[in-house]
Structure 1
């Protein structure tokens, strides 16, 4: 509904002149009609708003409560349901005994870990039985390379070798041992020589 501007039929009365009663009545009727139009418009709008608040005529421009609870607005944030599931409530924390891990304070992902390989377990068992042999050394990963070989007769294919860079490296390193040597592999080309310490146990 559109409300038009009020335009009086006789807008200009001259000071000192007698006002024509018919013209005055005409202006008054037009003013009263406009006021009544505004009142009717306001009443109609209020009725529509009251009906809208309790109806199902909300359009697709707005998120529903269900959509918001499912993370529709922004998946970077937890919904109320997700927060309740992930974090301990006040009542849950109030029952925690000193020394206990509060409920929901450690997630499943935080408890996940990669199990040791058989070679690593054998090396640990050997140390525990005082049967392990040790050797360590140093080296420099060649600049411009993606792999570096360290030759040493102590190393076998079953030797557990650990490498600790003492210089700044570019890539992530992995180590593989063979009979008589081990190879360090970088997933990126090292831009400068990188010094490192290494240790081996078998």
Structure 2
């Protein structure tokens, strides 16, 4: 079966995200936050992201992870297109960054720091049941996730309708092990 090109998928998902109401986003984000709490353990490291625009998730999700006693790292974009990391300590520590992102102002940690995480929450426009993730196309995560611990759970955070049967895949794409959706919670993906 031939799937739609990535550009068509991106356009479609972004249009659907723009159509969601603030109330729908709040309900979805609350559900994601509740599910994410169970992913973290005291003393563990979790890599996550600071959501922007219509991305699923919220700062409440990051705060909930911190309140479990986990160390929460979020990515920093770097000129060489490999993600660096910094510890998320709360909203007051975030500053404006490139690409409309917000990043912590704390110490910059090397890309290989992702290897310390047992759980990596990855932003995605969609993910398929094989673990193929559709990102925004810049490749930051695909150039970084190969550094993750092989036993880490790589979790694409998407809305329920963004977990699909099949997406186009490129040879450099790093597959996810799980999806986290508001309605379905954590779902294991087939590799």
**TM-score band w.r.t. shorter chain:** under 0.3
Greater radius of gyration (CA): 1
Q: Which has the higher contact order (CA 8 A, sep 6+)?
A: 2
TM-score normalised to structure 1 length? 0.18
